[in-house]
Amino acid sequence: MWKISHKDFMEEEIDGIDRRLLGELQRDAGQNLEEIGAAVGLSRNAVWRRVRRLEEVGVIRGRVALLDGDRLGLGLSVFIQVRTNRHEPDWLDRFAKAMRETPEILGAYRMSGDLDYLIRARVRDMAAYDRLYQRLIRRVELADVSASFVMEELKDTNALPLFQG
């Protein structure tokens, strides 16, 4: 069993039923409680109680629809590698704010090693990437920026590996 803790809750355990329930929600959060219950062997009410508890302790952070970027005209995925010479708190705050406020940016990560930040973005085309790049360098000082464009997407998922040891 996995143990979870939350500042407002005592440590709790995630059991096999919770993992199966989370797996079902990761597969399709649009299922109704009866469908989830049938898949994990619980009643509708038991599913509702467990989902509510998992939301309250922060294991379930939200539920979203996964959209197809290509069908929405966002056909270019890009990974942007950033190096900076600036590490002051006000620069970090401006950088983090720019990441949060830029809708094309899907993920931004502070990295170990030679690279300072890795940014994952989705844009329409190369011209849209250039506009994104220009907006970023106007907002925050960056020492070195390079980009790698996705040629083929082999796997892209938000599903966590719930049954790993």
Q: pLDDT by residue (tens digit) across 145-162?
A: 999 999 999 999 989 999
Architecture of domain 2-56: Orthogonal Bundle (1.10)
| Alpha-carbon distances, residue 139 vs 41, 98, 133, 134, 136 (angstroms) | 52, 7, 10, 9, 5
pLDDT at 163: 78
pTM for the whole thing?
0.84
Q: Is the pLDDT of residue 116 over 70?
A: yes
Residue 19 carries which DSSP code?
Answer: H
For 76-149, CATH gives 3.30.70.920
Q: How confident is the model at residue 10, as a pLDDT?
A: 44
Mean pLDDT for the stretch of residues 60-64: 93
**CATH 3.30.70.920 domain range(s) in the chain:** 76-149
Q: DSSP string covering 85-142, please?
A: S---HHHHHHHHHHHHH-TTEEEEEE-STT-SEEEEEEESSHHHHHHHHHHHHHHS--
Task: State residue 4's pLDDT score.
Answer: 58
